[in-house]
Amino acid sequence: MIVYFHHLNRNPPHVRARPATHCRKQKTQNPHQDLTSCDLSELPPELSACVWLTSLDRLSCSEEGNVGFLQFREALRSEIDHSDTSQTPFSKHWMAVKDRFVAMQSDYDYIESAEFRRVCQEQGVARPVSQDVLLQFLHDLGVVINFRNLQYFDTQILNPLWLTNGVYRIINSKHVADNGGLLRKADFDAVINDPRYRGNDTSEQHYIYPKNKLHYIVRVMQEFELCFMLNEYSYVVPQLLPANAPEFQPAGAMLRFVIHFPELLPGSVFPRLMVKLHSYIRDDERWRTGMVLHKPNVFDALARVRWDKEDQKLLIDVCGNERRRFLSFIRETVKEIVADFANLTFEERVPVPDCNDYQEYDYLVEAEKAGETDVFIKRLKKRIPISTLLDGVEEPAMRDETQQLPVKAFVSYSHRDLEHLKALQSALAPLRRLQKLQLWDDRSIDAGDAWRKEIFQQLAETDIVLCLVSADFVNSDFCYQQEFAAALAAHRLGEKTIVPILLRETDWQDLPLAEIQGTPGTWISSAANTDAAWTAVSKSLRPALEAAKNRRRVKRERELR
């Protein structure tokens, strides 16, 4: 757990609800400058369950009778008592492993998997599957932090301050800021191991960052949306981009939309939005508080998104033939980020045609549901159809409950194609946000779960099965002979839809899988333009989604009879 002291006389920032792990006072480690946005949501959520205190004078750790201290102590005790991990019984061998790593925290900032397994063996936890389950529990407890998506870096964190300190050295780097927010791989060492951090103050702990761990720190930042990869050699840190905005030239009629955060717009929301949408940014048109988005092979539209810090608003301007769809995509992306905060309120405001006025989106939607057909606009001194206002910013299907039924897609793939799986997830972002497509793959299985049972349960509940076709997929007894075989039976009965996605060329023409229409028209790995190939995959899935929604609609109607 991190304790953050908030100095402003306003409501405390809203943060993710996470298990408590470590406790520290947040302070600026940067020798160059103060933190401009050190909101806790910038930290990896595994490290940042929080207790917020509205002012320093409410808590004095030196006076146990202090009201603030007593309130803090009770809040902390409640968090611990109600955490899931506190209810989990540990065997004496597991407890011995935990105690050993707690003892190591004073001497080691991190370990590698060989050391973790050696300690487990030494304390009587010998089976690899038991070690993996225990590692997940230790991660939940904050004893050994292990990011499963970064397992190839072979790094488990014993001291979270080592990691967060490294992250803040990048976020506060004058070198990166002077370089326009670009962090080059060649500069990892100079930035993270900046000699100015090697001070003579013996009261401060000095951290060591070996060269083979520098990329890991950057990847943690990328994993938690603090930066994004620009190309093979460099990353972009949104908070360190230049402040000046480039000139924006709209092409055609402009649709303007406002998302207002009346209590607080956390400083991490817009940088995270930029990271999520970075593949849509046009050229280098990004700055500290804004970006221009244009990806014509996905949306025939152009958008500018700006962060108004003073008024706590996100301003979205969109033009083009698909401006409503593009706006809906951006709005859904914002909602994904907001969902990570506890009780963070926001208002969406719909522009009124022919005047500089806005109406609250939620009010219009509720009024429409209640049977209201129009709303009085004071500035225009007349009533306007509600449908005119709402249809001006989104397609009616976005408000149709049956059209917004979620569709589940099961991804069957070889683990050798993991990078292709990540590319698929990125390519299907429009379908996930606009068509409520829910992707599932075996990485969602928690350590200790009965993985085979979980896989076939998910397969039974899914609407669409996406098979990532490659030689390794065909060669996998489990992927092809078990997952695909089970899906094929349901596909032939019309209960599910199988969609083969052609990843890497293989001889599959004589297999039952080849009888099903695949996508795209050429193998993705050999496509001249892989972005275009993945876009073709996304577009070709739309009929399958509609078919799945129709099946769900029919099923629901039968259940209601």
Using an 8 Å Cβ cutoff, are 462 and 483 in contact? no
Encode 290-326 in three state secondary structure: EEEECCCCCCCCEEEEEEECCCCEEEEEEECCCHHHH
Domains of the chain, start order: 2-85 (no CATH), 88-157 (1.10.10.10), 254-398 (3.30.310.200), 407-559 (3.40.50.10140)
Please give the single-letter amino acid code of residue 419.
Answer: E
Please name which of 78, 75, 30, 34 lies closest in space to residue 54, comparing C-alpha atoms.
75
User: In which region does residue 142 sit, left (phi positive, over 0), alpha (psi from -120 to 50) or beta (all else)?
Assistant: left
**pLDDT at position 140, please?**
86
Please name which of 246, 241, 249, 300 lies closest in space to residue 270, comparing C-alpha atoms.
241
Would you call 318 helix, strand, or coil by DSSP?
A: strand
**pLDDT at position 526, please?**
92
**pLDDT at position 188, please?**
97
**pLDDT at position 68, please?**
67
Residue found by looking up tokens 């190309």 in the block: 231
Cα–chain-centroid distance for residue 83?
A: 23
Q: Could you tell me the end-to-end alpha-carbon distance of the chain, in angstroms, rounded to an integer?
A: 51
Please name which of 47, 386, 105 lies closest in space to residue 226, comparing C-alpha atoms.
47
pLDDT tens sequence across 252-284: 788 999 999 999 999 999 999 999 999 999 999
Give Dmax (Cα) for the chain.
80
Q: Report residue 65: phi and psi, to 5°.
A: -80, -10
Which residue stretches of the chain have pLDDT < 50? 1-58
Q: Report residue 86: phi and psi, to 5°.
A: -70, -15
Length of the chain measured in residues: 561
Please give the single-letter amino acid code of residue 142.
Answer: G
pLDDT tens sequence across 407-448: 999 999 998 998 899 999 999 999 998 888 999 998 877 655
**pLDDT at position 356, please?**
82
* pTM value > 0.85: no
**pLDDT at position 57, please?**
41
Which alpha helices (DSSP H) does 240-384 contain, by range? 269-276, 323-338, 361-369
**pLDDT at position 50, please?**
43
Encode 388-432 in three state secondary structure: HHHHCCCCHHHHCCCCCCCEEEEEECCHHHHHHHHHHHHHCHHHH
Q: Which two tokens stand for residue 220?
A: 């943690």
C-alpha span between 160 and 53 (Å, rounded): 22
Please name which of 106, 81, 85 lies closest in space to residue 94, comparing C-alpha atoms.
85
**pLDDT at position 252, please?**
79
